[in-house]
Amino acid sequence: MRYGMPDERLIEAALTHAARAPSVGNIQPWRFRVIDRGVHLYLDRRRVSSAAGSDERDLLVSCGAVLHHARVAFASLGWSAVVERLPDQRNPDHLAVIDLVRARTTPTDTALGTAITRRRTDQRPFSSQPVPPGFLGLVSERAAANGAMVHQAAHESRRSLVETMYEAERRHGVDRHPRLELAEWSGRYDGPGAVSSANSPPGRAGRGVAGDIFSSPGLGEPARAPDYAELLVVGTTGDDRRSRLRAGEAASAVLLTATNIGLSSCLLTEPLAVPDLRQRIRTGVLAGALFPQVIIRVGWQDDTTPLPAVPRHPISEVLAPADAPVCGASSLEDRSRPLADRPIGATGPSAEGLSSLTGPTCCGGCSHSSA
Ligand SMILES: Cc1cc2nc3c(=O)[nH]c(=O)nc-3n(C[C@H](O)[C@H](O)[C@H](O)COP(=O)(O)O)c2cc1C
């Protein structure tokens, strides 16, 4: 197999498309850089805000979503991605390297690529029209192919999940701090680093599904509209950084699949930010077998008027220039060799690469230590 490299314009087009990925608080905590034959993904800590929570789960899920979006975007443009995750043990914020190989675009690639531009986070209630049964099978398959499981919360486990979501809302309601955090990152209409409240309905209390209440909601909704959303929990067998990244990739696959068939969707993580509530979801919904990483509401929206797109940072903020100082510089030597030529298991920096890490080579957006 021959690994190649698309031209600059195609890379920019694909990454502009990829950056439509959902992120917690729309903070877009990612940065790409092209080094030799690879497109490198970093966690961009300059973007981390209080909305991201303290355990980095939401950040890694967001970066997993942009990684999957990037794979889809490249595939829709005729390039298949070979991904190496967490390639540099010295730099945990160096999340992935994407190697690209020319490939024929399939109808599924095209459909998912188109879904990227159509997908919106929809916080409004969904109608009682059932989600097609085949959908759950399809998203389970696609999530598994991306390294995570999707569990449909039904009957008792749905009741338990909804109750836990309300409990999270109640606790955040009495705890002024998270409420203020929400008000801080919602309610801004135009900023590229904020949730667009133009897409936010009024508060959900008493509507049947709990969720975040955003300041300055811009959407109206019928009084007391019940929510019949299907609730899916994306879970992983482990709870490490890789698992969370994979959960984001799987969540992205679910969202794009849903969009492709006309379903609306919304990610939710509020109850997972509270340790005992997360544990309750793990045992009550996932039978203790998986760690819950993100919850997805999916359903049909009665109002089919497209929601406005939430702004994103410009590509100049997403793709760092190739000649700028580089995070994970230790990997540079290894990355200059085609993937097929690298020894199996040689995912970390070479000894020479490590010893060359002496100066402030970091881009400033990661936690990379050059000591
Ligand atoms: C890890 C993660 C957690 C999120 N949590 C919530 C949430 O609790 N409530 C919500 O309404 N949206 C949530 N979102 C969706 C973001 O708010 C949304 O992606 C962002 O505002 C951009 O809007 P868009 O998805 O319509 O492009 C989450 C997204 C991610 C990736």
Q: Is the C-beta atom of 268 inside 6 A of ligand 1?
A: yes
Q: Is the C-beta atom of 270 inside 6 A of ligand 1?
A: yes
Write down the CATH number for the domain with range 8-114+311-355: 3.40.109
Q: Is the C-beta atom of 210 inside 6 A of ligand 1?
A: no
CB 29, CB 53: distance < 8 Å: no
Question: E strands, the chain, where?
Answer: 30-35, 38-43, 79-85, 94-102, 149-153, 230-236, 264-268, 291-299, 319-320
- Report how far apart, in Å, the C-alpha atoms of 323 and of each of 35, 36, 236, 320 are: 9, 11, 37, 9
CA of 62 to the centre of ligand 1 (A): 9
Number of neighbouring beta carbons within 10 Å of residue 209: 22
Q: Is the C-beta atom of 334 inside 6 A of ligand 1?
A: no
CB 15, CB 28: distance < 8 Å: no
Model confidence, pTM: 0.83
Contacts of 360 (CB under 8 A, 6+ apart): 325, 370
Let me know how long the chain is. 371
Q: Is the C-beta atom of 120 inside 6 A of ligand 1?
A: yes
Q: Is the C-beta atom of 272 inside 6 A of ligand 1?
A: no
The pLDDT score that the predictor gives to residue 51 is 57
Of all protein residues, the one whose alpha carbon is nearest to atom 3 of ligand 1 is 24
CATH class of the structural domain 120-299:
alpha beta
Burial of 59 (C-beta count, 10 Å sphere; 0-12/13-18/19+): buried
HSE at residue 125, side-chain half, CA atoms within 13 A, is 21
State how far the Cα of 113 lies from the Cα of 329, in Å rounded to an integer. 31
CA of 22 to the centre of ligand 1 (A): 6
CA of 266 to the centre of ligand 1 (A): 7
The pLDDT score that the predictor gives to residue 337 is 39
State how far the Cα of 325 lies from the Cα of 328, in Å rounded to an integer. 10
Of all protein residues, the one whose alpha carbon is nearest to atom 19 of ligand 1 is 22
CATH 3.40.109.10 residue ranges of the chain are 120-299
Q: Is the C-beta atom of 58 inside 6 A of ligand 1?
A: yes
Of all protein residues, the one whose alpha carbon is nearest to atom 2 of ligand 1 is 24
Instruction: Read off the tokens for 228.
Output: 């019949």
State how far the Cα of 116 lies from the Cα of 83, in Å rounded to an integer. 20
Helix (H) or strand (E) holding 359: none
Pairing assessment for the beta strands 149-153 and 94-102 based on DSSP bridges: unpaired
Residue to mutate (ligand 1; options 57, 185, 233, 269; most atoms within 8 A of CB) = 269
Q: Residue ranges of the chain with pLDDT lower than 50?
A: 1-2, 176, 178-193, 204-213, 215, 223, 326, 328-371
